[in-house]
Amino acid sequence: QRRTGLCALVIASGDPAAAWNAGDVSSRIALLEAAGSIPDPALRAKFFPLASAVLDGSTDGKYISATLRAMPLLGNENAAAAYAFAASFVKQNKHTAPALYALARLKSAWRAEDAAALTKSILADCQSQPANKRTTTDYVSAVQVARELAALLPKADGDSVRAQLRQVSVDVVVVKTVREQLRFDTNRIVVAAGKQTEIIFENDDVMPHNLLIVDNGSRQPIGMKALTMSPVPDKEGRLYIPDDKEFKKVIRVATKMLEPGQTERLQFKAPNKEMEFEFVCTFPGHFMTMGGKVIVTKDVDAYLAAHPVADNGSVPPPVAAAPVAPADYVVYEPKGSANGKKIVLLSGDEEYRSEESMPMLGKILSQHHGFKCTVLFSVNDKGEIDPDNGGSLTHPEALDSADAIVMLLRFRHWDAATLAKFDAAVKRGVPIIALRTSTHAFNGIPKDSPYAAWNFDNNGGFGKKFLGETWVSHWGKHKSEATRGVIEASNAMDPILSSVTDLFGDTDVYEAHPPIDAKILVHGTVLSGMTPDSPPADYVKPRAPDKKEQGVNSPMMAIAWTRLVKNDAGTENKIFCTTMGAATDLTNESLRRMCVNAVFWGLGMPVPEKADVGIIGDYKPSKYGFKGYQVGIRPAAHVLK
């Protein structure tokens, strides 16, 4: 409770200095232990100058230990300095366990020039330990770090270190969870062929986790099966471990579901031949981010020397806000703690009520996830929202600092200055999250404009070039056949699909044929009615491009995909496109989550395991259709109250 209170205090103030300076040794230790629970990486980084000062001459062991254990979480910009602090303690053989804990989590900052001194010190410490201490987690972790450091040495020196480590090591591997980050501390376990290896699994997180070793290729199906299971223990008291015959034969070993702070040891007998397995956590939904490979090799040292491990580090997702109300656009400031990213949401379509859905998404992204969101509109000369005014986009200057764009546009023909700002953002390489009619976002741009190529009637325009498709046809019957999303099984582990389950929209499936470079995430079942329980439609119709007839659901059309597209400036844009996205479609929780996940993915940020997409305030979207927008509404009506 003390840590929770300190964490809340720091988040509320936006700076840990006051709490730090007012506290004694015990409260500073509690602050350091609370730092890992602060979602905002910029705020965590503010601990670093405070924490590093502690290491200058402090003699309190608990103080130093807490500091070293916190350092890997105190910002990527501080990783090199944190590594230097931790390495200095290892070289001095002081506070070795917490220093090695930090080193193991700062691999991106390792320096080859330090490897000799570090391995020498670790070896000396290991050689001094009695045999009965050589299966403790601290000891095994030290050996693992030394083995990986040996890969940075010249071959002869590395071979010598590995030979000495063999004399003092046992076949034990330690795997830990990383607090608040929904991942293991490694993405591989390397074991010797034909030998028994003990795997020590420690749950350092704040929620339950388990660890299973399964046959290669089984991680996804087992994880998907666990999503459907009730929390009923099996005969061995284990939760979320499939008991079906087909799964039993591919599960090699498994721990129980460990509560925070618990440890379990597994005995794994590796086969005699070199091969791979997978390891995974099967708590519902965790399999998407919590897993890795088990490498069975005849020579562990040789494998590690040939495959130096990459840093498996990441940071927790941020939190979130309160708004400001300009006249013709809306800004939603992040709630509490910002993540530093700016999202610009573009509304502007005549039919699917983006003027209602974009503010709703902006509130979710800002209040739940820490983004600063700016929503731009089409307005008339009275300053009222007018989706039919295709030449209008309010406050295009927001695009100058956009980190990502979320858009639902149709047949826009903005003025040259506005188009230039959109073009500049694209050429900076900002990710684009495009909904529904954005496949035909532009039309009516003058033919002599440098942006005329974006027109829908110019070989598919912007949609074809960037999103991968333009307007083709209503594949399902408009306003009478709804859509049910079906996740593409081969891409089910894509982070954008994290906790995306029952996709449904009351709009019809669009005909779409994304290019071969697109990664298809979801297909759309054309339903025979307008409710989620409507059966699939069953009839034949011709495809637009080649007039070839096919069943309307065989195969199903793609309705969500990603691409990586090189623009005219030579930079690349990460693209997420879905042909769902009407304001009524977005009453569906999974569709909102897929769009929010796509923002995190586009920005290269860790995608939450189950993003909070709870609607903020009232959201009663108008039915889609031309001339269906609410007349006389100004952007200020969407200010968060």
Distance CA 278, CA 468 (A): 34
pLDDT of 318? 30
Q: Residue 175: CB partners within 8 Å, gap ≥ 6? A: 184, 185, 186, 189, 199, 200, 201, 202, 211, 279
pLDDT of 14? 80
The residue type found at 6 is L
Does residue 184 sit in the same domain as residue 286?
Answer: yes
Does residue 437 sit in the same domain as residue 572?
Answer: yes
For residue range 231-266, what is the model confidence (pLDDT) as tens digits? 778 888 888 898 888 888 999 999 999 988 899 999
Indicate the residue among 248, 279, 306 that finishes a domain: 306
Element (H, E) at 301: helix 300-306
DSSP, collapsed to helix, strand or coil, labels residue 322 as strand
Is residue 278 situated within a structural domain? yes
Does residue 176 sit in the same domain as residue 41?
Answer: no
pLDDT of 313? 42
Does residue 296 sit in the same domain as residue 327?
Answer: no
Is residue 286 situated within a structural domain? yes
Indicate the residue among 109, 130, 149 that finishes a domain: 109
For residue range 361-371, what is the model confidence (pLDDT) as tens digits? 999 999 999 99
Is residue 530 situated within a structural domain? no
**What band does 24 get if pLDDT is binned at 50, 70 and 90?**
confident
Is residue 35 situated within a structural domain? yes
Does residue 193 sit in the same domain as residue 61?
Answer: no
Is residue 230 situated within a structural domain? yes
Does residue 433 sit in the same domain as residue 302?
Answer: no
Between β-strands 572-578 and 432-435, what pairing exists: parallel, antiparallel or unpaired?
Answer: parallel
Is residue 8 situated within a structural domain? yes
For residue range 536-558, what is the model confidence (pLDDT) as tens digits? 999 999 999 999 999 999 999 99
Q: What percent of the chain has pLDDT over 70?
A: 93
Domain that holds residue 628: 322-472+557-638
Q: What is the pTM of this model?
A: 0.53
Does residue 289 sit in the same domain as residue 337?
Answer: no
pLDDT of 130? 81
Helices (H), 443-482: 461-462
Domain count, the chain: 3
Is residue 125 situated within a structural domain? no
Average pLDDT over residues 268-285: 91
> Which carries the bigger pLDDT value, residue 38 or residue 2?
38
Indicate the residue among 109, 143, 164 that finishes a domain: 109
Does residue 327 sit in the same domain as residue 255?
Answer: no
Does residue 360 sit in the same domain as residue 292?
Answer: no
CATH number at residue 400: 3.40.50
pLDDT of 324? 34
Does residue 326 sit in the same domain as residue 298?
Answer: no
Is residue 605 situated within a structural domain? yes
Helices (H), 36-154: 41-45, 47-54, 61-70, 79-91, 96-104, 115-127, 137-150
CATH number at residue 300: 2.60.40.420
For residue range 490-548, what is the model confidence (pLDDT) as tens digits? 999 999 999 999 999 999 999 999 999 999 999 999 999 999 999 999 999 999 999 99
Does residue 360 sit in the same domain as residue 213?
Answer: no
Distance CA 432, CA 574 (A): 6
Closest CA to 511 of 479, 557, 549: 557
Does residue 276 sit in the same domain as residue 338?
Answer: no
Average pLDDT over residues 154-161: 89
pLDDT of 323 over the 60 cut: no
